[in-house]
Amino acid sequence: MRPRLAIAWLAAAAACSSATDAGLSGQTSPPESTASRVSIVLDPRSISVSPGGTTESIGTIRGATKTALSAVIGAPNNVTVRVSSIATTDSVLTKKYIVFANTGAAPGRYVLTVRVTGNGDSDVETPLTLTVTAP
């Protein structure tokens, strides 16, 4: 190999071994992932309800077992959320998130958190935006 070509090759190889380009420098095996294999998609991700009314969102959960748990966190006063399973296959669960707003629910925009726990993986969370409209 000619000296100039060898120097250019070494410079290119060194540039590709940075922690941002190729993972941890000097690592010989892929890093173990701590990310959950469970995912959730809400449809719709933003819902509206008037005081005294109901609305819903459907969640599709992939990579979970039939025993995956789901909860909604952060509902404002006078708003409750019920979670029910509507379909299950080997690795896909479908949940219905039904939102009930009492007549005393304050109008406003709220960001709720839908949390799924399953398979012993880390919890997975996604936002659900709720707008309580003026009566």
Residue matched to tokens 């998130």 = 97
Per-residue confidence (pLDDT) for residue 131, from 0 to 100? 97
Mean pLDDT of 9-26: 35
DSSP string, 17-86: TSHHHHSSTT--SPPPP-S-S-EEEEESSEEEE-TT-EEEEEEEEES--TT-EEEEE-PPTTEEEEEEEE
Per-residue confidence (pLDDT) for residue 59, from 0 to 100? 95
pTM of the entire predicted model: 0.70
| 71 has pLDDT over 90 | yes
Mean pLDDT of 110-118: 92
* pLDDT level of residue 82 (50, 70, 90 thresholds): very high
Per-residue confidence (pLDDT) for residue 4, from 0 to 100? 47
CA 5 to chain CA centroid, Å, is 48
CA dist 59 and 44 (Å) reads: 9
Mean pLDDT of 67-83: 93
* pLDDT level of residue 22 (50, 70, 90 thresholds): very low
* Candidate CATH numbers 3.40.47.10, 2.60.40.10, 3.30.1360.120, 3.90.550.60; the one for domain 39-132: 2.60.40.10
